[in-house]
Structure 1
Amino acid sequence: MKVKTTFLFTLMLLIVLCVSICPGFAQDMAYTQLSLPEGAKARLGKGSVGEVMYSPDGSLLAVGSNIGIWLYDAKTFQELALFAGQMDWVYSLSFSPDGKTLASGGGDMDCTVRLWDVGTGGVKATLTGHLGGVKSLSFTPDSTTLAAGSNTTVFMWDVATGAVKAELTGHTSHVYCVSFSPDGNTLASGSWDTTVFMWDVATGAVKAKLSGHTAAVNSVLFSPDGNTLVSVSRSGKNHTVFMWDVAAGSVKAKLTGHTSKIGSVLFSPDGKTLVSTSQGEEDHAIFFWDVVTGALKTKLAGHIGSANTVLFSPDGKTLASRSPDGEVHLWDVATSSVKARLDMDRVRSLSFSPDGKTLASANTDGQVHLWNVATGSVKRALTGYRGWVRRVSFNPDGAILAGVNYYNGEVILWDVTAGSVKAKLTRPTGEVRRVAFSPDGTTLAGVTWNPKDYGDYDYKVFLWDVATGKRKRILDTGGRIRRIAFSPDGTVLASVSYDSEVRLWDVETGVLKTELGEHKGEVRSVAFSPDGKTLASGSRDAGDDAVLLWDAATGDLKVKLAGHTGSVYSVSFSSDGKTIASGDAWPDYKVLLWDVATGAIKAKHTGHIGSVYSVSFSSDGKTLASRSRDRTVILWE
């Protein structure tokens, strides 16, 4: 029985238009079912967490990510909807004060502002004109005007018509933050040019230019009474919060105490407290300041990484904070304790069990989960090991799951039934980058790498005896290895590397049998057909040479599968050998299903917004899993 293995992905980006779901209809629906693309039956993982924002009445919490905007019930913390369609990361969010509209700003590959109807989840308008990612958004108090900051320009939009009301120029670098005064007459903007501008909303004229920061300004905010403007720098050595007198345009106070760069600032709804966040390697605290005295009231700690964004609930009783560790914390302000954590899973690797009923996933939070494929629910979390696992692979009978530690390359074997660690394999010199079981389950192959000279590495394939954990053999493969795959009978191991070659190795002797060299670019993926007669390889050769099918016995090229517009990072055969799936990178991020006999495209799946790094069929061929750079897994019919 063939076991599909999966591998690491690195970054993110781009395209697909999904159907939005009305929040009112989503309350009893699992998040895995929200806003699915056509042909999909579940989505595992929520992407990477971005901006967070409460609705004005405090009933909703919006969380931006690289796959869309997740909408939560702020009391139950239940996922209500996923607003999908932005063609890149959601850089910024803002609810209109009347709560009817949610604005989202796209990243550098999107550069648009979308206005969402909160009640229906539909797109009311798409605002274009920015030349870079939209870093900040702010509505006027009457909800009629939206300000958006990007490159060196601030746009003010008419919310009702989607027309540009004004284009404010004056900054000499990217505008990182914008904020309207409570009366709506003044707009503040902060830039990477270290300045803060205050603009007259009616005329578009500059009212004041505030100088004093020594680094990029990443947050500006008016106090609820409009008399004070707070600004902080993205970096710099003084780690100071500036408080400005709006009428005079002068500094009122400087708040000191941070030992690292300051992330964001926020006034409490009553204006008596100012919150600021630290973004240092060691200092991850959230500071509470007394606005009148400038004294430090308290510090909150709990995030693994820095708290990039904070916001109060409208009643001021709850503070939400989000960080790069993939979590949103909800704090009880009165007790300084965590009320809830919203888990934004970030999937790094996956593997189907041989019977197709279970899918294993490894997340960046160090957890390994077993999912029920039929229901999309978590069956269990595997325990007994602490560390970031980046590779997982089932053995042929599904009783053992192998994982690889991200940092030290340690190989862990879990007993799937017990959910506990079965063994840790003797580590070779260097890190293990990926693993694959032989078809009979007795051997585990692992790709290792050792640093040699600067920027150069020595790659080898280690073969372990699964029963004893002892090393059986080492294959000296030379160049950087991308993927490995056993033939169905276990006698041949295929490896692909950066040098555009596909190599076939004799597993028993360790001797190189043949090299297949028709690809022009780096070969990224390889897979044997279930009968072992055909070998598929995918490469960075976009177009006709992206996927090649080889005669495994003779090494002859059988056919070229033409249809991809981007690099092919993954290939996989169905269990009957009649269909092959391939996943590609920019610009389409699609999955194609091919008829092996004819070479024709059978189906096309779109829905990821990042490169597809892994595709894998269930053993019955009814489900295809695809894992993407967008940090999600989609299960397709």
Structure 2
Amino acid sequence: MENEKIQAATPLSPNDSDVATWALPEGAIARLERGCVCGTAFSPDGRYLAVATKIGLWWYEVATMSPVALWETERGMVSDIAFSPNGKWIAVSNWDKVLKVWDVQRGVSIAQIELTDFWIPFIFSPNNRWLATGNSDTGNVELREPETGKIVLTLIGEAEKCGEFMPIAFSPDTQLLASTSRDNTNNDAESIIVWDVENGERVACLTGHTGYIYRLCFSPCGRFLASGGEEDGTVIIWNVGSWQQIKTHTGYGKSDMTPSYSPDGTLRVAAVSDDDDIVTVWDLENNEKLYTADSEAPVTFSNGLQLAYQYEPDFLEVWMLGNPTPRRTVQTHISFVDTSESLTFSQDGKTIVAEYRYGSVLLWDIENKQARLAMPTESASKNQHIHISSEGELYVTSIHKNTVKLWEVGSCESLIAEFAGNGFVCATALAPTNNKLASAHEGGNLIIWDVQSGDKLRAFRHPLQTSTDDSDQAWKLVFSPDGSLLVSYTEDEANVRLWDVGRGEEIQEFPSDEFWDIEMFSPCGRYLVGSAGKNIIFWNVKHREILTTLPFLWAHDFAYSPCSSYLACGGEDPEGILLWDFKRREIYKRLQLPEGCQDVHSLRFSDCGQYLAFGAAWETGLEKVPICLWEVETGKRVVTFWGHFTDVQAVAFSPNNELLASASFDGSILLWNLTSYL
């Protein structure tokens, strides 16, 4: 690949430096974020880093860590990638169980292969003659012609005994291929099978690992095979020929081990700790630590010299031996929280506030398409949540162990209050009136705080059906509009309770067969809306009884119109979205979903109440997931956008209805221009 430049599969203007506008779907004007990272690979000459994401395949120039191209955007959902040693081809797999071989210089796909799973290991042979693909159903390895995908030889494995990762490695002369299978005598252990590539015969079965095998690699001289364990911090060196263990390296903790030989034959390993998400590069022979960094999966270690890893949720970093300072680029956060509040516009319409699945909240400046943290770095935790007041003001809570910090979101974020209770905090809720904050702690303890003074107002306990102090208990807290009532429940137990906040007393325990999930209070506070499998339930708070039960399958998304006249209900009901008229206590309309869609994943009314936006969940057969916009009064579908490759987790209107934002499980936010439709 020397002196050759990567071309864009989707043509880009030579001056098109605005990455947020590359390869946009029809109707979109910008893409914020670059998609969740699923895999990385260095080009053979080390000049480029290819990044597999859920929106496509990104190419980065390693020297600058700047993106130079975006491929595979017709379907996206790229799961893994591998280069041929001569750099001529790159193999790209996706979540639809399809593997494509691309001609790197022409930027075109030359072969397409149907796989048995969305994650299947594959690797090119050192002589560029074969593309080897694993088969998780049979344990076989298939050798294919890269330019056609045709199977030339099948190496027979052990059916139902293939490994969890099933790594594959060729010897430098392409004469041998190694992969893994389950040990016959120990179901928790894996063995290594070695085949002769020319005749397909098995030449060795190596046992010695006590658990799963994570990675395999041959030495450049071909005399040694290194195998790294999963979660056991072990690397075993095998003699090629006698197939005896030469040495076993242990003592690297509960780590996934990726051994890699340098061109001069030095064996190094990238150890990723499962306990604290830290990657460490070791010189195994000298037991010397060469580099360490915080890391999120995935990690790529190439030729014992180059390391690529995800640093925290939003950066990609590349480290090279001999250079202590890594190179960094912004990539993406993971994905978004499945709530209506996880994506919202500021009141002036200039900023999008986004809550991500693993606890970060970012503020996106729409004009320059840049993001910043919702709170200072030194105060940010990995557990942050958005709260919206009844006046539309935005707040963020940051949870760290037993402490909650409350921040107001604006042009300059400011700390409002700090609350410290006993035990880890599992969830928070801010009263719409902004004067009270509720926190759920391990063991079922609930605390009500005065926001202005920071004082503890009430403390009571939500009884749990199982005895646990697990801080990961999935709690949900919901205040009534005036802050006088609180609903608490855990998603792990059918255990819903209603509390009088002022007195700290339980008002009602809901039978598990009646309520599985409480979604929200009505804007007037008189009703609770919940779901129980095949029904939507409206519960009268004052009279403590069920007001109405509506047949509706698996309702899980609800949205009130600003005037409180209508409630939109979405789920998996074949009749689509239900609009409930609260004043008349009757169904107002049913909105049919686009063909191929069965599951509503997000709903949102515009601030004026005239329009309803919907985002779908991905279904088999959909290459892209629809976002629809309806006129509430007539039920007319105004426009349908097809942009995201998987579930649309949240949608939001700008205050002036000129923009619609959609956030997806693919890790991106798309901005849609509505001026032509409304």
Q: Give the TM-score of the pair, scaled to structure 2.
A: 0.77
Q: Pick from 606, 612, 626: which aligns with 2:662?
A: 626
- The aligned counterpart of 2:344 is 351
Q: 1:91 to 1:251 in 2, by over 3 A?
A: farther
Q: How far off its partner does 1:89 sit?
A: 5.4
**How many angstroms apart in 2 are the aligned matches of 1:279 and 1:120?**
39
Q: Which amino acid aligns with 2:649?
A: Y
Q: Which amino acid aligns with 1:35?
A: A
The answer to whether the 8 A contact 2:279-2:295 is kept is no
**How many angstroms apart in 1 are the aligned matches of 2:562 and 2:22?**
34
CA deviation digits over 1:58-87, x for unaligned, max 9?
Answer: 121012234433221111111233334586
Residue pairs, 1:328-343, within 5 angstroms = 328-334=316-322, 336-340=324-328, 342-343=330-331
Q: Which amino acid aligns with 1:295?
A: N
The answer to whether the 8 A contact 1:464-1:473 is kept is no
- The aligned counterpart of 1:140 is 125
Residue pairs, 1:186-205, within 5 angstroms = 186-193=176-183, 194-205=190-201
The answer to whether the 8 A contact 1:351-1:392 is kept is no
Q: Does residue 124 of the first structure (1) align with residue 110 of the second (2)?
A: yes
Residue pairs, 1:230-629, within 5 angstroms = 230-235=226-231, 239-282=233-276, 284-290=278-284, 294-303=285-294, 309-312=299-302, 318-322=306-310, 327-334=315-322, 336-340=324-328, 342-348=330-336, 349-363=342-356, 366-378=359-371, 381-383=374-376, 385-395=379-389, 400-403=394-397, 405=399, 410=404, 412-424=406-418, 438=432, 450=462, 452-454=464-466, 461-463=478-480, 478=510, 479-481=515-517, 483-484=519-520, 487=523, 495-498=529-532, 500-503=535-538, 515-541=547-573, 543-544=574-575, 546-563=576-593, 565-587=597-619, 588=622, 589-629=625-665
CA RMSD, Structure 1 to Structure 2 (Å): 3.7
Q: Which amino acid aligns with 1:174?
A: C
**How many angstroms apart in 2 are the aligned matches of 1:590 and 1:556?**
28
Q: How far off its partner does 1:119 sit?
A: 3.8
Unpaired segments ≥5 residues, structure 2: 1-7, 184-189, 337-341, 445-461, 468-472, 484-499, 674-678
Q: Does residue 168 of the first structure (1) align with residue 155 of the second (2)?
A: yes
**How many angstroms apart in 1 are the aligned matches of 2:465 and 2:399?**
24
Deviates more, 1:573-582 or 1:473-482: 473-482
**How many angstroms apart in 2 are the aligned matches of 1:584 and 1:610?**
9
- The aligned counterpart of 1:185 is 175
Q: How far off its partner does 1:568 sit?
A: 1.6
Q: Which amino acid aligns with 1:216?
A: Y
- The aligned counterpart of 1:10 is none
Q: 1:428 to 1:536 in 2, by over 3 A?
A: farther
Q: Which amino acid aligns with 2:553?
A: G
Q: 1:86 to 1:351 in 2, by over 3 A?
A: same
Q: Which amino acid aligns with 2:347?
A: P
Q: 1:432 to 1:240 in 2, by over 3 A?
A: closer
Q: How far off its partner does 1:235 sit?
A: 4.5
SS at match of 1:607: strand
Q: How far off its partner does 1:359 sit?
A: 0.3
**How many angstroms apart in 1 are the aligned matches of 2:591 and 2:53?**
34
The answer to whether the 8 A contact 1:177-1:189 is kept is yes
Unpaired segments ≥5 residues, structure 1: 1-19
Q: 1:386 to 1:575 in 2, by over 3 A?
A: closer
**How many angstroms apart in 1 are the aligned matches of 2:501 and 2:481?**
4
The answer to whether the 8 A contact 2:216-2:226 is kept is yes
- The aligned counterpart of 1:79 is 67
Q: Which amino acid aligns with 1:249?
A: W
Q: Which amino acid aligns with 1:582?
A: F
Q: How far off its partner does 1:185 sit?
A: 2.4
Q: Which amino acid aligns with 1:178?
A: I
The answer to whether the 8 A contact 1:496-1:526 is kept is no
- The aligned counterpart of 1:4 is none
Q: 1:581 to 1:398 in 2, by over 3 A?
A: closer
SS at match of 1:417: coil
Q: 1:578 to 1:120 in 2, by over 3 A?
A: farther
- The aligned counterpart of 2:495 is none
**How many angstroms apart in 2 are the aligned matches of 1:570 and 1:406?**
29
Q: How far off its partner does 1:138 sit?
A: 1.2
Deviates more, 1:580-589 or 1:406-415: 406-415
**How many angstroms apart in 2 are the aligned matches of 1:397 and 1:345?**
29
- The aligned counterpart of 2:492 is none
SS at match of 1:277: strand
SS at match of 2:20: helix
SS at match of 1:177: coil
Q: How far off its partner does 1:390 sit?
A: 4.7
**How many angstroms apart in 1 are the aligned matches of 2:581 and 2:277?**
57
Q: Which amino acid aligns with 1:418?
A: C
SS at match of 2:355: strand
Q: 1:26 to 1:364 in 2, by over 3 A?
A: farther
CA deviation digits over 1:37-58, x for unaligned, max 9?
Answer: 3322223333432222111121
Q: 1:80 to 1:274 in 2, by over 3 A?
A: same
Q: Does residue 157 of the first structure (1) align with residue 137 of the second (2)?
A: no
**How many angstroms apart in 1 are the aligned matches of 2:389 and 2:14?**
37
Q: How far off its partner does 1:133 sit?
A: 3.4
Q: 1:295 to 1:426 in 2, by over 3 A?
A: closer
Q: 1:611 to 1:257 in 2, by over 3 A?
A: same
Deviates more, 1:113-122 or 1:158-167: 113-122
**How many angstroms apart in 2 are the aligned matches of 1:579 and 1:433?**
32
**How many angstroms apart in 2 are the aligned matches of 1:578 and 1:381?**
31
SS at match of 1:32: helix
**How many angstroms apart in 2 are the aligned matches of 1:482 and 1:122?**
50
Deviates more, 1:372-381 or 1:66-75: 372-381
The answer to whether the 8 A contact 2:23-2:73 is kept is no
**How many angstroms apart in 1 are the aligned matches of 2:474 and 2:318?**
44
Q: Give the TM-score of the pair, scaled to structure 1.
A: 0.81
The answer to whether the 8 A contact 1:217-1:233 is kept is yes
The answer to whether the 8 A contact 2:10-2:23 is kept is no
SS at match of 1:590: strand
Q: Pick from 86, 94, 118: which aligns with 2:82?
A: 94
Q: Pick from 86, 98, 105: which aligns with 1:112?
A: 98
Q: How far off its partner does 1:371 sit?
A: 1.0
- The aligned counterpart of 1:636 is 672
Q: 1:342 to 1:332 in 2, by over 3 A?
A: farther
Q: How far off its partner does 1:599 sit?
A: 2.6
**How many angstroms apart in 1 are the aligned matches of 2:326 and 2:150?**
42
Q: 1:477 to 1:120 in 2, by over 3 A?
A: farther
Asked which structure has the greater RCO (Cα within 8 Å, sep 6+), the reply is: 1
**How many angstroms apart in 2 are the aligned matches of 1:232 and 1:191?**
14
CA deviation digits over 1:369-400, x for unaligned, max 9?
Answer: 21122442226643263323453144466654
CA deviation digits over 1:596-636, x for unaligned, max 9?
Answer: 23334333333334332222211122222222333332222
The answer to whether the 8 A contact 2:429-2:479 is kept is no
The answer to whether the 8 A contact 2:365-2:371 is kept is yes
